[in-house]
Every structure is written in structure tokens, then in C-alpha cells.
């Protein structure tokens, strides 16, 4: 069986960072295919034929093509359920609570983090001034959501229950990159958010990924 191909940019962040972490947590062998965005590798007709949005990440699992980082993480977690760290619960109620937590991340956390990334990072990289009013509002809206996290996390270890799941892992896409750029969105949101975030962001797989970059590539972020 051919080894899984993982199409990634060079940064150990975003959806590519999530997949690299799942591959590490599950100890899945893979071949990295570097997508050089600066050269436009992601917009070639060959690439777009596989990923019609022309983005990373993407996987090719023996001819089965899949894109969208969270879908890929779920696929790998379920395909390799019996190895490495369990990342999706199997019993129906626990899985439903995992899905609830994953929806919380995608509906409440990720869109606001996306706004903060746009204003605080992407505009800076493109020599554009951030819209300070939008940035301040997004940070304040996110703080209000994290105050609800504080309530949830006061009675359970993780967002989906007492075990670490993909729902926790998904928060790593951009929050650490923002902290590196001086926007520590997870700070000062209460003791339980702090405990949870310290736990999630100090997992050995994530610490190693940040230190070494995507395996086979030297990270630049
Ligand atoms: N929802 C997608 C987002 C993918 C995405 O936006 N990827 C960025 C890099 S993090 C990209 O490829 N940008 C290039 C482009 O959109 O042209 C996922 O989670 O996989």
C-alpha cells in the first residue's frame, strides 16, 4: 500500500499544522509533498484538479483525495482509531459531545481568530495597516466566547469532556502563531481556560512540531 501523501505549506501552523499533529499523535507514516505557495504550486491546473479551491492542506491516501483540514483530521483519526492517541470518542453520547465541542470551535472560535489573523498578521505581512477598531472588536468578542469556555472547563478537563479530542486540537491552528506575534488571545480568560490551554499547547507532539517544523521542511513561522 503506498504511503499517505500530505500536501502542505512550509509553516507548522494553520490546517497543515493540525494535520502534522494528528500524524504525530497517531504515528502515521507519510510522504510530505511541499506546496510552494510563493511559486503558485497550489494554483496549477494539476493541483486544482484535485483541490478545486487551490489551497493546502490536502492528502492523497492511495488515490483517495481529501481536502479541508478538519475533515482530514477526522478521517485520519477514524482510519487509525486503534493506534496512537484516541482523538474521537466511539460511544454515541461521547461522540455527540465531541461533535458539539468541534462545532463550538468552528462556530465561535475559528471565525473570530480568522478576523484577528487578517488584521494582526496578514495585513502586516502585506504592509497594510490593521483596522484597529475591527481588531479590538474581534478580540473583545473572542474574550466573551472564552468566558463561556471558562464555565464549560470548570466542570470538565477538555472542551468535549474529560478526554483530549480533536476538538481541543483544532484550537492550535492559529492561536499559537498569534501569541508569537504578541496577540496572546488565550491569556487572562480564567484559571480553567489557562489550565486547558497550557495542557493542549504543551502536548509533546505540538512542542516538537513547533521546534522542528513540518517533518521534512524547515518551518519559517
Ligand atoms: N478551510 C480550509 C482553509 C484552507 C486555507 O485557507 N489554506 C490556506 C493556507 S492556511 C491557503 O491554502 N491559502 C491559499 C489560497 O487560499 O489561495 C482548511 O481548513 O483546510
Contacts 24+ apart (CB under 8 A), 95-100: 97/160, 97/161, 98/160, 98/161, 98/165, 98/166, 98/167, 100/160
Contact of 8 with 16, CB cutoff 8 Å: yes
List pLDDT tens digits, range 16-48: 999 999 999 999 999 999 999 999 999 999 999
The CA dihedral of 106, 119, 149, 72, to the nearest 10 degrees, is 30
Q: Is 51 in the pocket of ligand 1 (CB under 6 A)?
A: no
For ligand 1, atom 1, which residue shows the shortest CA distance?
68
Distance of alpha carbon 36 from alpha carbon 40, whole angstroms: 6
Mean pLDDT of 121-147: 96
Q: What is the pLDDT of residue 57?
A: 98
Residue whose entry in the numeric block shows the C-alpha cell 492561536: 175
Q: What is the pLDDT of residue 217?
A: 73
Check whether 154 has a pLDDT greater than 60: yes
Contact of 21 with 69, CB cutoff 8 Å: no
Report the DSSP pairing between strands 64-67 and 58-61.
Answer: antiparallel
Mutate to test the pocket of ligand 1, among 42, 55, 75 (most ligand atoms within 8 A of CB): 55
Q: In what order do the strands lie in the sheet with 64-67?
A: 30-34, 4-8, 58-61, 64-67
Distance of alpha carbon 192 from alpha carbon 163, whole angstroms: 15
For ligand 1, atom 13, which residue shows the shortest CA distance?
55
Q: What is the pLDDT of residue 221?
A: 37
Residue 30's Cβ-side half-sphere holds a number of Cα atoms within 13 Å equal to: 25
Mutate to test the pocket of ligand 1, among 13, 33, 52, 56 (most ligand atoms within 8 A of CB): 56
Distance of alpha carbon 221 from alpha carbon 202, whole angstroms: 18
Q: At 128, give phi and psi (nearest 5°).
A: -110, 145
Q: Is 10 in the pocket of ligand 1 (CB under 6 A)?
A: no
Q: Is 55 in the pocket of ligand 1 (CB under 6 A)?
A: yes
Q: What is the pLDDT of residue 153?
A: 98
Q: Is 14 in the pocket of ligand 1 (CB under 6 A)?
A: yes
Quickly state the pLDDT bin for 220 (edges 50, 70, 90): very low
Domains recognised in the chain with CATH numbers:
4-86+206-212 (3.40.30.10), 92-204 (1.20.1050.10)
Check whether 56 has a pLDDT greater than 70: yes
Atom of ligand 1 nearest to the CA of 13: 10
Q: What is the pLDDT of residue 68?
A: 98
Quickly state the pLDDT bin for 130 (edges 50, 70, 90): very high
Amino acid at each position: 500500500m503506498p504511503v499517505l501523501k500530505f500536501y502542505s505549506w512550509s509553516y507548522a501552523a494553520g490546517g497543515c499544522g493540525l494535520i502534522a499533529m494528528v500524524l504525530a499523535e497517531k504515528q502515521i507514516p507519510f510522504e510530505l509533498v511541499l506546496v510552494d505557495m510563493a511559486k503558485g504550486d497550489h494554483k496549477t491546473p494539476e493541483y486544482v484538479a484535485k483541490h478545486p479551491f487551490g489551497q493546502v492542506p490536502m492528502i492523497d491516501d492511495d488515490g483517495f483525495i481529501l481536502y479541508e483540514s478538519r475533515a482530514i483530521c477526522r478521517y485520519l483519526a477514524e482510519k487509525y482509531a486503534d493506534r496512537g492517541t484516541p482523538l474521537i470518542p466511539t460511544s454515541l453520547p461521547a461522540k455527540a459531545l465531541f461533535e458539539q465541542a468541534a462545532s463550538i470551535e468552528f462556530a465561535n472560535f475559528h471565525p473570530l481568530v480568522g478576523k484577528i489573523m487578517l488584521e494582526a498578521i496578514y495585513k502586516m505581512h502585506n504592509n497594510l495597516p490593521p483596522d484597529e477598531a475591527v481588531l479590538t472588536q474581534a478580540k473583545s468578542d473572542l474574550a466573551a466566547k472564552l468566558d463561556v469556555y471558562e464555565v464549560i472547563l470548570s466542570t470538565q478537563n477538555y472542551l468535549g469532556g474529560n478526554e483530549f479530542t480533536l476538538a481541543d486540537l483544532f484550537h492550535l491552528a492559529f492561536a499559537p502563531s498569534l501569541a508569537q506575534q504578541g496577540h496572546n488571545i488565550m491569556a487572562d480568560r480564567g484559571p480553567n481556560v489557562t489550565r486547558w490551554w497550557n495542557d493542549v499547547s504543551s502536548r509533546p507532539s505540538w512542542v516538537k512540531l513547533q521546534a522542528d517544523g513540518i517533518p521534512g521542511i524547515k518551518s519559517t513561522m
